[in-house]
Amino acid sequence: MTHVPTRRTVLLTTGAAALAAGCGEYGSGGGSDSGSSAAAGQELARTDEIPVGGGRIFAAEKVVVTQPEQGEFKAFSAICTHQGCTVDTVSEGTIGCPCHGSRFRITDGSVARPPATRPLPEKEITVEGDRISLA
Ligand code: FES
């Protein structure tokens, strides 16, 4: 049992991150024993699965994880602040929403293209070795 103290919490509060996230659980009524909604400690990906200068969307967890620069990981809500669609692309340094074309920067979630006016709220993740988990 070796617990390596390489735990690093990525938490950047851009100010508006407090909006959010209280009760967004979607109960499926089905009762699977390993719930699929986002939960603290839930592993999302390995660090090498997140492209440098890009990111990856975890639709089930409603989280986007980005790596603006080598070794720098960030996470944001995947729910567009315009009207609540789930973002679906990460390209050219931005995260895109399919509904009305809003784009958000992978560096800080800020709006790169309206109609959204508010940034994607930042999410807390933990990078432990090569594992990225929800904090
Ligand atoms: S809901 Fe995302 S751009 Fe409108």
Q: Where are the domains of the chain?
A: 25-134
**Cα–Cα dist 51/92, whole Å:** 12
**Statement: residue 72 has pLDDT above 70:** yes
11 in contact with ligand 1, CB cutoff 6 A:
no
According to the model, what pLDDT value does residue 37 have? 56
Q: Which residue has the higher pLDDT, 48 or 14?
A: 48
* CB of 44 closer than 8 Å to CB of 132: yes
Burial letters 60-86, b for 16+ CB under 10 A, else e = ebbbbbbbbeeeebbbbbbbbbbeeeb
Residue 85, ligand 1, Cβ within 6 A: yes
CATH entry 2.102.10.10 includes domain 25-134? yes
pLDDT at residue 25, rounded to an integer: 35
Contacts of 82 (CB under 8 A, 6+ apart): 97, 99, 100, 102, 115, 116, 117
Assign 111 to helix, strand or coil.
strand
In percent, how much of the chain has pLDDT > 70? 72
Q: Give the predicted TM-score (pTM) of the model.
A: 0.74
Residue-level pLDDT at 16: 38
Q: Tell me the C-alpha to C-alpha distance, in Å, between residue 56 and each of 27, 73, 87, 106.
A: 24, 11, 10, 10
Given this model, what pLDDT does residue 83 score?
98
Q: What is the DSSP letter of 30?
A: S
105 token code pair: 């920067």
Which ligand 1 atom minimizes the distance to the CA of 115? 3
Residue 20 has pLDDT above 60, yes or no: no
pLDDT band at 9 (very low <50, low <70, confident <90, very high): very low
Give the number of the atom of ligand 1 that is nearest the alpha carbon of residue 85: 1
